[in-house]
Structure 1
Amino acid sequence: MSNVSSLPDTSPANSVAGDALPDSWLDTLVGYALRRAQLKVFQHLVGNLAEHDLRPAQFTAMVIIDNEPGLMQADLARQLAIEPPQLVPLLNKLESRGLAQRVRGVQDKRAYGVFLTKAGIALLGQLKAIAVASDEAATAALDDDERNQLLRLLHKVNG
């Protein structure tokens, strides 16, 4: 598969450079600028993940599971900001590919912990490298200080 994504091209016709005035009233809104930037960043990542038949939510779940092996499904759903029923098809996909497994809880037989398999751990290493390269490509217009400042500001907005 190619790196081409079906996401819309978010590059403005007359790009705003440096201290140039915004092209429209929408360009003065932080939320609008964040969404356009998010689309641009995802264009890079989505195409690369698609080569591995994965979507960003599945990649994110794998990272979270890797950080917290045995995490309960309900807690994983909370960290992904989705409802638990929405998590089921995501985990089904990871399990069917042999990347993750659910293990019944010892104390609560109704609860399942989620673990990455050896194959999942190996693939995640590759995916993290892809994510870093995609992130760097999407933010190539920024120098290191600007990129770090952007990350600090985004973390501040996220609270």
Structure 2
Amino acid sequence: MASQQKTSRKAAGTAAAIRRPRSHGANGAAPNGEAGDDIGLDALVGHAGYAVRRFQLWIFQDFIKTLATVDIRPTQYSVMTVIGANPGLSQMAVAKRLGIERARLVHLLDSLEDRDFVSRVPSATDRRSHALHLTARGKTALAQFKRLAAEHERHVAEKIGKENREHLLRILASFT
């Protein structure tokens, strides 16, 4: 009996020492606000790609949160901004400039058309393509989106500092 108790205690101690892995979200963050700071990152600490990706996740989450009241996503905002600055561009030109797959852009434009933000007009120079324009409602909405995006950019400056933000934009300019 005494040996069974020892075996039982040993098994219980071993079970307590084995932690179940925590489930993580799609972005690798621990659930329920757990930071996961006790998990070492090893070489990832020195990888620019890892740091940029983590910063991108923070950026997108803040953008989505800041613009939640108007239900606009970063890619939708980008498309509307480019169309607003360049009325009459073709879908192909927008897709190429923003690095968006054409099929994905078609779906995105459908959703913006459904909201009466964008219109596709047959091109005067190429019967196979459409010229993209913001509607009157789209122009008004974009002005509001830009005000909210400016608020988001203030959040970025608060997070990393105004000078660091400006420096980061200079570094990343060669990729835009």
TM range (shorter): 0.7 to 0.9
How does 1:51-62 map onto structure 2 within 5 Å? 51-62=69-80
**2:66·2:151 contact (CA, 8 Å) conserved in 1?**
no
* Residue 119 (structure 1) aligns with: 137
Counting helix residues as a fraction of each chain, which structure ranks higher?
Answer: 2
* Residue 44 (structure 1) aligns with: 62
Which ranges of structure 2 fall in alignment gaps of 5 or more residues?
1-24
**1:101·1:117 contact (CA, 8 Å) conserved in 2?**
yes
Displacement of 1:83 in angstroms is: 2.4
* Residue 133 (structure 1) aligns with: 151
Normalising by structure 1, what TM-score?
A: 0.80
Give the 3-state SS of the residue equivalent to 1:51 in structure 2.
helix
RMSD of Structure 2 on Structure 1 (CA):
2.4
**AA aligned opposite 2:151:** A
Displacement of 1:23 in angstroms is: 5.9
**1:72·1:113 contact (CA, 8 Å) conserved in 2?**
yes
- Partners of 1:117 and 1:105 lie apart in 2 by 16
Deviation by residue 1:35-86 (Cα, 9 ceiling, x = unmatched): 0011111111012333222221111100000111000111111122122222
2:161 is the alignment partner of 1:143:
yes
**1:7·1:39 contact (CA, 8 Å) conserved in 2?**
no
Note closer, same or farther for the CA distance 1:13–1:132 as it changes in structure 2 (3 Å cut).
farther
Give the 3-state SS of the residue equivalent to 1:127 in structure 2.
helix
**AA aligned opposite 1:95:** E
Provide the aligned length of Structure 1 versus Structure 2. 146
Give the 3-state SS of the residue equivalent to 2:119 in structure 1.
strand
- Partners of 2:168 and 2:139 lie apart in 1 by 30
**2:120·2:133 contact (CA, 8 Å) conserved in 1?**
yes
**AA aligned opposite 1:72:** S
* Residue 110 (structure 2) aligns with: 92
- Partners of 1:124 and 1:118 lie apart in 2 by 10
* Residue 25 (structure 1) aligns with: 43
**AA aligned opposite 2:42:** S
Higher relative contact order (CA 8 A, sep 6+): 1
Equivalent residue for 2:96, pick from 78, 86, 95: 78
Which ranges of structure 1 fall in alignment gaps of 5 or more residues?
1-5, 15-21
Normalising by structure 2, what TM-score?
A: 0.73
**AA aligned opposite 1:119:** R
Q: Which moved more, 1:48-57 or 1:91-100?
A: 48-57
Deviation by residue 1:87-109 (Cα, 9 ceiling, x = unmatched): 11111111111101000012221
